[in-house]
C-alpha cells in the first residue's frame, strides 16, 4: 500500500521527498563535473610473469693472481727459459705460502716457529717470560740493538720513529695537575 506523491502526505513526508530530490540533483551535478575534471583511469596492464630465479652455487675462489707475466717486465731475456721457469716456481711458492698462512692450524704450535716483531723466539722459560711480560712503565721496550737486529723494514722504520719521539718539550709534566675545578 504505497502512497502516491501528493495524496494524503503529511508535511513532514513531503519535505523529506523534496530534500531527497534536491540531494539527488546535487550529487548528479557533482558527479558530472568530476567526470569532466578527472581523467579516465588507464587500463591496467597484465603483470609480467615472474621469472624463476636460478640458484647459484657458491664457488670458493682462490686468490687472483696473474696467469702470465711478461719476461720483459720481470727483467728476463725471452730466450732464457730456466730463469723464467724459476720465476714461475717462485711465484707458485709465494702463493702457496700465502695460502698456508690463511689456513687454520689444528696441530700443536711450536713457539720456536712463531716470528714476532721481526725475530723468532727460542725455546725455554726465558722465551715464554719475554713473550708475556708486556710493557713495563719507565723501561724501554726495545733498545738500539733491537732496532739494528730487526729484519722487517717496516718494523725497523717504526722503531726508529718511536725511538726518536720526545715528550714534554713545551712544559714540564709536573706543572699541570688535575683538580675538581678543571
Residue 176, domain member (yes or no):
no
Residue 119, domain member (yes or no):
yes
Q: How far is the CA of 144 from the CAs of 10, 23, 127, in angstroms?
A: 119, 103, 20
Residue 45, domain member (yes or no):
no
Residue 57, domain member (yes or no):
no
What is the pTM (predicted TM-score) of this model?
Answer: 0.24
* Gap between the Cα atoms of 86 and 104, Å rounded: 29
Residue 17, domain member (yes or no):
no
Residue 152, domain member (yes or no):
yes
CB 117 within 8 A of CB 150: yes
Residue 126, domain member (yes or no):
yes
The per-residue pLDDT for 4 is 56
How many domains is the chain partitioned into structurally?
A: 1
> What does the pLDDT profile of the chain (182 residues) look like in tens digits?
455 555 788 999 999 999 999 999 999 999 988 888 887 777 888 888 888 888 777 777 776 766 676 767 766 665 667 777 888 899 999 999 888 888 877 777 776 666 655 555 566 666 666 666 666 667 777 788 888 888 889 989 988 888 888 776 777 666 666 666 65
Dihedral pair phi/psi, residue 16, rounded to 5°: -65, -45
Q: Which domain holds residue 132?
A: 106-163
Residue 125, domain member (yes or no):
yes
Amino acid at each position: 500500500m504505497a502512497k502516491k506523491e501528493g495524496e494524503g502526505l503529511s508535511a513532514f513526508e513531503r519535505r523529506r521527498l523534496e530534500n531527497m530530490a534536491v540531494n539527488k540533483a546535487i550529487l548528479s551535478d557533482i558527479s558530472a563535473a568530476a567526470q569532466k575534471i578527472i581523467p579516465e583511469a588507464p587500463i591496467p596492464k597484465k603483470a609480467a610473469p615472474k621469472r624463476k630465479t636460478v640458484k647459484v652455487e657458491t664457488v670458493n675462489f682462490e686468490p687472483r693472481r696473474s696467469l702470465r707475466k711478461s719476461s720483459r717486465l720481470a727483467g728476463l731475456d725471452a730466450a732464457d727459459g730456466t730463469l723464467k721457469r724459476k720465476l714461475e716456481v717462485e711465484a707458485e711458492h709465494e702463493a702457496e705460502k700465502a695460502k698456508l698462512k690463511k689456513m687454520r692450524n689444528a696441530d700443536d704450535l711450536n713457539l720456536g716457529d712463531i716470528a714476532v716483531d721481526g725475530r723468532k723466539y727460542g725455546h725455554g722459560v726465558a722465551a715464554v717470560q719475554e713473550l708475556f711480560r708486556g710493557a713495563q712503565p719507565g723501561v724501554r721496550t726495545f733498545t738500539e740493538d733491537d732496532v739494528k737486529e730487526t729484519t722487517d723494514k717496516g718494523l725497523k722504520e717504526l722503531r726508529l720513529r718511536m725511538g726518536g719521539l720526545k715528550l714534554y718539550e713545551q712544559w714540564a709534566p709536573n706543572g699541570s695537575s688535575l683538580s675538581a675545578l678543571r
